[in-house]
């Protein structure tokens, strides 16, 4: 049996219980989970604020585990390998998006690794658990020698920032502005610096500005200071990781002609845009959702080669509830990761 931390309804407290995973199919791998990151979207799904909540729910979509069993048709992965599973557990594989490696925009809707039904109609339970079963097309190899706990948050948080950096050509000669130094922002700073871009950060917190500089930002600004004026028209891309209501219009002027402001956070409130800021500056507002499997594999490799990893607070499974309360209050440096190793033998 699988030991899991389950929510019986929206708003319920976590309960340690046993669940059943699907039997290992010919294309499946079975993972003994080692670590799982706690992503803000776990809280959003559990709250059922956007609807679609399936209860009982076992959250968790930033999993790293060790392969313990492989189905008869599985290729390229062996027992003992470290692999990750992010948000995507399956998709149709044949639509235009899937064929292009963008499984997260699958025409039929991709299967999430939790709070979602698999292709045979069974509810998927996520990674706050001792093990996981998934089709091998959707696993992400973790390089040997990598710090598995620091890699876990990259499976969602890392790919969320990597995708737009790649899509908008961030690298030497480009200037990126990161809004918000949190779970996503602290990874965006590291990836963009490793790609050779100039990175500026805006944060009201002096402690976070210090962290941003340590993580590779050239400049960390207080958005309420006059120094912000020096950066008007200087940026090629703004990655906006803020997940609550905020004013977009004050940021567009930082973009040079043709620059883009890309939303990664998903506030549930309306955000207004003053059209002249876009029209006169030839600027655009973009959005980006996680990323496909192939890009996720590239991202993990890149992170390993460049020493990019999440800054984490490692917690034990019985502390998930307390961690959720802290995350809800924005009190984490910068990602909680659950140490699941003790569940494996229990």
Q: Which of 44, 77, 92, 285 binds Zn ion (CB under 5 A)?
A: 92
* Residues forming a β-bridge with 200: 177, 219
> Candidates 9-17, 44-52, 91-99, 228-236 — which segment interacts with Zn ion by CB under 5 A?
91-99
How many amino acids of this chain bind Zn ion (CB under 5 A)? 8
> Candidates 105-113, 115-123, 172-180, 280-288 — which segment interacts with Zn ion by CB under 5 A?
105-113
C-alpha angle 42-114-243 in degrees, rounded to nearest 5: 25
Q: Which of 74, 85, 98, 133 binds Zn ion (CB under 5 A)?
A: 98
Residue 206 CB partners (closer than 8 Å, separation 6+): 222
With respect to Zn ion, which residue has the nearer C-beta, 106 or 177?
106
* Residues forming a β-bridge with 67: 31
106 binds Zn ion (CB under 5 A): yes
Name the minimum Å distance from CB 42 to Zn ion: 7
Q: Which structure tokens are listed for 214?
A: 């340590």
Instruction: Quote the CA–CA distance of 193 and 184 in Å, as a whole number.
Output: 14
Name the minimum Å distance from CB 36 to Zn ion: 11
> Candidates 10-18, 104-112, 121-129, 222-230 — which segment interacts with Zn ion by CB under 5 A?
104-112
343 binds Zn ion (CB under 5 A): no
Name the minimum Å distance from CB 160 to Zn ion: 7
With respect to Zn ion, which residue has the nearer C-beta, 156 or 215?
156
Q: Compute CA distances 43 → 33, 75, 296, 325, whole Å.
A: 21, 35, 23, 10
3-state DSSP assignment of residue 196: coil
91 binds Zn ion (CB under 5 A): yes
With respect to Zn ion, which residue has the nearer C-beta, 41 or 124?
41
Name the minimum Å distance from CB 229 to Zn ion: 35
Cα–Cα nearest to 145, from 300, 39, 38: 300
41 binds Zn ion (CB under 5 A): yes
C-alpha angle 238-60-290 in degrees, rounded to nearest 5: 30
57 binds Zn ion (CB under 5 A): no
With respect to Zn ion, which residue has the nearer C-beta, 110 or 168?
110
Residue 94 neighbours by CB distance under 10 Å: 11
Residue 341 neighbours by CB distance under 10 Å: 17
Cα–Cα nearest to 127, from 302, 281, 317, 257: 317
C-alpha angle 167-158-48 in degrees, rounded to nearest 5: 105
With respect to Zn ion, which residue has the nearer C-beta, 101 or 344?
101
Name the minimum Å distance from CB 18 to Zn ion: 25
Window 123 to 182, contacts with Zn ion (CB under 5 A): 156
Residue 272 neighbours by CB distance under 10 Å: 7
Using CB under 5 A as the criterion, which residues of the chain lie in contact with Zn ion when the complex forms?
A: 39, 41, 91-92, 95, 98, 106, 156
């Amino acid at each position: 049996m699988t030991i899991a931390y389950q929510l019986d309804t929206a708003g319920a407290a976590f309960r340690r219980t046993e669940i059943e995973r699907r039997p290992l199919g010919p294309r499946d791998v079975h993972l003994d989970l080692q670590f799982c990151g706690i992503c803000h979207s776990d809280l959003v799904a559990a709250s059922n604020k956007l609807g679609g909540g399936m209860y009982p729910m076992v959250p968790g979509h930033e999993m790293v585990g060790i392969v313990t069993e492989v189905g008869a048709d599985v290729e390229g992965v062996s027992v003992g390998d470290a692999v990750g599973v992010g948000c995507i557990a399956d998709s149709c594989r044949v639509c235009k998006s899937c064929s292009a490696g963008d499984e997260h925009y699958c025409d039929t809707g991709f299967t999430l690794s939790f709070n979602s039904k698999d292709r045979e109609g069974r509810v998927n339970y996520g990674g706050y658990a001792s093990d996981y079963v998934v089709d091998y097309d959707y696993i992400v190899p973790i390089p040997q020698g990598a710090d598995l706990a620091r890699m876990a948050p990259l499976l969602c948080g890392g790919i969320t920032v990597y995708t737009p950096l790649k899509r908008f050509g961030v690298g030497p000669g480009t200037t990126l502005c990161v809004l918000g130094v949190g779970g996503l922002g602290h990874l965006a700073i590291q990836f963009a610096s490793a790609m050779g871009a100039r990175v500026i950060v805006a944060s009201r917190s002096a402690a976070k500005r210090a962290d941003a500089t340590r993580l590779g930002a050239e400049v960390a600004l207080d958005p309420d200071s006059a120094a912000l004026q020096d950066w008007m028209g200087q940026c090629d891309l703004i990655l906006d990781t803020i997940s609550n209501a905020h004013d977009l219009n004050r940021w567009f002027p930082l973009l040079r002609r043709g620059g883009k402001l890309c939303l990664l956070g998903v506030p549930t409130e309306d955000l207004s845009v003053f059209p002249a800021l876009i029209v006169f500056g030839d600027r655009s507002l973009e959005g980006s959702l996680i990323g496909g499997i192939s890009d996720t594999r590239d991202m993990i490799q890149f992170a390993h080669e460049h020493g990019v990893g999440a800054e984490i607070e490692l917690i034990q499974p019985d502390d998930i509830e307390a961690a959720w309360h802290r995350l809800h209050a924005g009190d984490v440096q910068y990602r909680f990761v659950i140490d699941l190793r003790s569940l494996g033998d229990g």
